Structure 1
Amino acid sequence: MTDYCPVYAPFFGAMGCTAAIVFSCFGAAYGTAKSGVGLSAMGVLRPDLMMKAIVPVVMAGIIGIYGLVVSVLISDGLKMKMALYTGFIQLGAGLAVGLSGLAAGFAIGIVGDAGVRATAQQPRLFVGMILILIFAEVLGLYGLIVGLILNTKATGGDVQC
């Protein structure tokens, strides 16, 4: 093994794969749980709005899909012998999508909880809640885009192992 291709290089790629799925699913789980609590509380007052108010739960679930996509793509590039550069880039890609998914899930959970409770009292607030949820969701999408770009750069190293 050379200095550019140490035996521990795949570890960083595996950690990127893990970070992508774990952190984004933490965000999705928090967003689902938090907005689900608000949905349950709202359903007691206005059961007729249940299907309309399930939007935050669906949006939180999408965050987990972002992590899954990047995790699968990173795992496809893992090899027994790989450049340290590739491992670091894969770690960066996983952290980018994972941590932005975590942040987006937190935002969706908090907005979803308060938004569906407020919508139960004043239905005209629904459109405003949806707009705020879209802005929260796009934070995870930014991480997905950066993760995908980084993952395409991972195979571009000049070092052959």
Structure 2
Amino acid sequence: IVPIVMAGVLGIYGLIVAVILTQAITTPTAEGKTQYSVFNGYCHLAAGLCCGISCLAAGGTIGIIGEVGVVSFGMKASGGKRAWSTGEGTDGRDGGDVAGGNDRVNAEDANKLYVGLLIMLIFSEALALYGLIVALILSQKSYTCEE
């Protein structure tokens, strides 16, 4: 569930950037003149792309790490056997022991695997956080059109 929550945060990053960029857009005057320059438009485009692409990269990384983590926990729980793909151990003829005797999963090994998984998830979330920071910096750049 941790990768799902961390991936949900990526959408919030995009929402933050969208709200900030939307507030920076000004409407034209009654004469049709605008204060919103092409420079501002390109800065806002770059900010949106920076946040979006970094969140895309972070989301892909979080997905891969989450998948590998789930498969690793499954392999550890089944004692290294791929019971879900080979059908071994599903009919109860192997004694009913999921981990296979001496290869029983202990809490310390599971905690080590979980801590490693969590650290990788945190560093992959940092990719999106860096993109958010750069997008916020880009959104603060502005050029006002003069008459």
Identify the match of residue 13 of structure 2 among 43, 60, 66.
66
Counterpart of 2:38? 84
**Equivalent position amino acid for 1:61 in 2:** G
Q: How many residues align?
A: 106
What TM-score does the superposition give when structure 2 sets the normalisation length?
0.68
**1:4-15 pair list within 5 angstroms:** none
Post-superposition shift, 1:160? 2.9
Instruction: Name the % identity.
Output: 46
Q: 1:36-65, CA deviations, whole angstroms, 9 ceiling, x for partnerless residues?
A: xxxxxxxxxxxxxxxxxx111100100111
AA in 1 matched with 2:145: V
In structure 2, the residue matched to 1:128 is: 116
| Structure 2 portions without partners, runs of 5+ | 28-33, 77-108
Runs of 5+ consecutive residues of structure 1 not aligned to the other structure: 1-53
Structure 1 residue identity aligned to 2:114? F
Alignment partners' CA distance in 1, 2:9 and 2:45: 22
Cα RMSD over matched residues?
Answer: 1.4
TM-score scaled by structure 1? 0.62
Structure 1 residue corresponding to 2:71, chosen from 99, 102, 117: 117
2:105 is equivalent to residue 151 of structure 1: no
Higher relative contact order (CA 8 A, sep 6+): 2
* Structure with larger Rg: 2
Q: Offset at 1:116?
A: 2.4
AA aligned to 1:86 is N
